[in-house]
Amino acid sequence: MNARVLIKNLAALDDGLVSVSGWVETVRDQKKVQFVVLRDESGAVQLVNPRSTDAEGVVVDDEPATTISGLSQGSFVTVTGQLKHDERVKLGGIEIKLESLDVVTHAIPETPIAADSSLDKRMDWRFLDLRQPKSNLIFRIQTTFEHALRTYWIEHDFIELHTPKLMASASESRAELFEVEYFDTKAYLAQSPQFFKQMAQSSGFGKIFEVGPAFRADPSFTSRHATEFTSVDSEISWIDSHEDVMQLHEDLLVAAFTAVKAKHGEEVLALFGVEVTVPTTPFPRIPLAEAKEIVKSRGYEVPRDDDDMDPEGERQIAAYVAETYGHEFVFLTDYASSIRPFYHMRHEGDASLTNSYDLIFNGTEISTGAQREHRIDVLTEQAIEKGVDPAEIAGYLDFFRYGVPSHGGFGMGLARVLMLMLHQASIREVTYLFRGPTRLEP
């Protein structure tokens, strides 16, 4: 029996006997010849089966013709046949003349989704929706993106951590936590590995990273929110300011975008019509107050009174940066302490501002980063000021009682980066199985 060949590798082979497996995409059952488009995880190929005729030239329904006539879209089959290179074949310039066909599993003829099905309907049947070449490419891009990040971290002597997702108390905002039964007490699903990342700095690890799940009990129904998502986190010691964190962040993204463009750039352009652009460094940096004035000069005034930037403001400042700097990324810096967590370090001489940033990519925030407050007395005071009872975070505060270096880091949403890179309308398109306020299946 011939070993299975991935369809993407057929073009490099000489003409001859091959075996391929995949699902049936289309069947054209003509009078004298049958055509089947077969797709596997790597691509598609045309199968050809000339019909047999009797001595008088009448078509005879024999095998595999009878089986092919009964094939439904989505059925999984294994075929063997003669590979032939023919530039006249529109699908890749190759085809396979069938010798045998084995149906591994039959698919129900009536499929529950179509190309024009709603996003919610497609999410109901996600395993079928994922058979699209575009979906397959999304998750190959995700793999390349993560691998490039991890390669950078490892080559720069970072330590990878896997922090717990069950917590005894709130990590940041109790309002956004999922509470779960935990034996005879309560536990909470972690919305961030923040406290554990900082514990690693007190442990003397120096530079760490984690790519793992995070949970937010946020009843948002926007295109960029999820209740469970993959968070990309990194934390480093011995920094002078949040500028050190921003430099790390942009270097990581340059490495990841470079890898994606090199490996998938042509496919992304063909399937998504998007040019993957490797960002130049340094990324533009604009203090938040200045960014708001720029947005106002463009005819839009951020309506909030809480010192933050709203989604339209993010889009406007991104448009300005694209026009002015030709860049898809911008760091908005110096956020007000009133809207930042208690553990963000504040400006020397101006406690109303923090050494923190948000990273905007193509008009949407993808990450928050900051220098952390490492002085126990200041940290405790800031917690109290924010209404956080030190007794509730006693274990966290202990990290700072026995010596800890200056440090900082960031957390970044993986799906948001992919969504914006590929110009998709929703993170549901780039999430393998989406979880939101009304979705727990499949």
282/374 same-domain check: yes
154/83 same-domain check: no
297/407 same-domain check: yes
Asked, for residue 435, whether it belongs to a domain, the answer is no
- Of 78, 76, 74, 77, nearest in space to 125 by CA: 74
Q: Could you say which of 105, 134, 159 is where a domain stops?
A: 105
Please give the pLDDT value at position 246: 98
130/101 same-domain check: no
Q: How confident is the model at residue 43 (pLDDT cuts 50, 70, 90)?
A: very high
pLDDT surpassing 60 at residue 155:
yes
Is 364 annotated to bind a ligand? Reply is no
| pLDDT higher at 315 or 306 | 315
59/141 same-domain check: no
Look at the block and give the residue holding tokens 């084995």.
102
pLDDT surpassing 70 at residue 142:
yes
Domain count, the chain: 2
The answer to whether 19 and 3 have CB atoms below 8 angstroms apart is: yes
- Of 279, 278, 276, 257, nearest in space to 330 by CA: 279
137/275 same-domain check: yes
Q: How confident is the model at residue 409 (pLDDT cuts 50, 70, 90)?
A: very high
Query: Distance between CA atoms of 131 and 58, rounded to whole angstroms?
Result: 38
Task: Read off the pLDDT of residues 323-332 as tens digits, 9 standing for 90 and up.
Answer: 999 999 999 9
Cα separations in angstroms, 390 against 152, 258, 396, 430? 37, 44, 9, 39
90/232 same-domain check: no
Domain of 46 in residue numbering reads as 7-105
Q: Could you say which of 105, 138, 156 is where a domain stops?
A: 105
Proportion of the chain above pLDDT 70, given as a percent = 97
Proportion of the chain above pLDDT 90, given as a percent = 90
Q: What are the tokens at 439?
A: 């979705």
CA 252 to the chain's CA centroid: 15
146/250 same-domain check: yes
Q: Cβ-count burial of 157 within 10 angstroms (0-12 exposed, 13-18 middle, 19+ buried)?
A: exposed
230/376 same-domain check: yes
| pLDDT higher at 357 or 59 | 357
CATH of the domain at 381: 3.30.930.10
Q: What average pLDDT score do residues 44-61 get?
A: 82
Please give the pLDDT value at position 172: 59
SS (H, E, C) the chain: CCCECCHHHHHHCCCEEEEEEEEEEEEEECCCEEEEEEEECCEEEEEEEECEECCCCCEECCCCHHHHHCCCCCCEEEEEEEEEECCCCCCCCEEEEEEEEEEEECCCCCCCCCCCCCHHHHHHCHHHHCCCHHHHHHHHHHHHHHHHHHHHHHHCCCEECCCCCEECCCCCCHHHCEEEEECCEEEEECCCCHHHHHHHHHCCCCEEEEEEEEECCCCCCCCCCCCEEEEEEEEEECCCCHHHHHHHHHHHHHHHHHHHHHHHHHHHHHHHCCCCCCCCCCCCEEEHHHHHHHHHHCCCCCCCCCCCCCHHHHHHHHHHHHHHHCCCEEEEECCEHHHCCCCECEECCEEEEECEEEEEECCEEEEEEEEECCCHHHHHHHHHHCCCCHHHHHHHHHCCCCCCCCEEEEEEEHHHHHHHHCCCCCHHHHCCCCCECCECCC
CATH of the domain at 68: 2.40.50.140
Query: Distance between CA atoms of 422 and 433, rounded to whole angstroms?
Result: 18
Lowest mean pLDDT of 48-62, 96-110, 171-185, 334-348, name the range: 48-62
Please give the pLDDT value at position 169: 77
Please give the pLDDT value at position 55: 67
Please state the φ and ψ torsions of residue 157, each to the nearest 5 degrees: 70, 35
Asked, for residue 442, whether it belongs to a domain, the answer is no
Task: Read off the pLDDT of residues 384-396 as tens digits, 9 standing for 90 and up.
Answer: 999 999 998 999 9
Asked, for residue 117, whether it belongs to a domain, the answer is no
Q: What average pLDDT score do residues 36-47 get?
A: 96
144/245 same-domain check: yes
Q: Could you say which of 72, 105, 138 is where a domain stops?
A: 105
Is 363 annotated to bind a ligand? Reply is no
Q: What pTM was estimated for this model as a whole?
A: 0.94
Is 290 annotated to bind a ligand? Reply is no
Helices 242-272 and 133-155, axial angle in degrees (round to 10): 150
Task: Read off the pLDDT of residues 224-234 as tens digits, 9 standing for 90 and up.
Answer: 999 999 999 99
Asked, for residue 1, whether it belongs to a domain, the answer is no
Please give the pLDDT value at position 23: 97
Please give the pLDDT value at position 303: 84
Q: What are the tokens at 131?
A: 């058979």
Please give the pLDDT value at position 52: 82
Asked, for residue 277, whether it belongs to a domain, the answer is yes
Asked, for residue 363, whether it belongs to a domain, the answer is yes
81/176 same-domain check: no
Is 365 annotated to bind a ligand? Reply is yes
Mean pLDDT over all residues of the chain? 94
Is 413 annotated to bind a ligand? Reply is yes
188/317 same-domain check: yes
Q: How confident is the model at residue 300 (pLDDT cuts 50, 70, 90)?
A: very high
Please give the pLDDT value at position 2: 74
Q: How confident is the model at residue 272 (pLDDT cuts 50, 70, 90)?
A: very high
Asked, for residue 440, whether it belongs to a domain, the answer is no
Is 172 annotated to bind a ligand? Reply is yes
pLDDT surpassing 70 at residue 174:
no
The answer to whether 222 and 172 have CB atoms below 8 angstroms apart is: no
Asked, for residue 182, whether it belongs to a domain, the answer is yes
Pairing of strands 16-29, 33-40: antiparallel
pLDDT surpassing 70 at residue 404:
yes
Q: How confident is the model at residue 255 (pLDDT cuts 50, 70, 90)?
A: very high
Lowest mean pLDDT of 193-202, 215-224, 280-289, name the range: 215-224
Task: Read off the pLDDT of residues 93-132 as tens digits, 9 standing for 90 and up.
Answer: 999 999 999 999 999 999 999 989 999 999 999 999 999 9
Is 401 annotated to bind a ligand? Reply is no
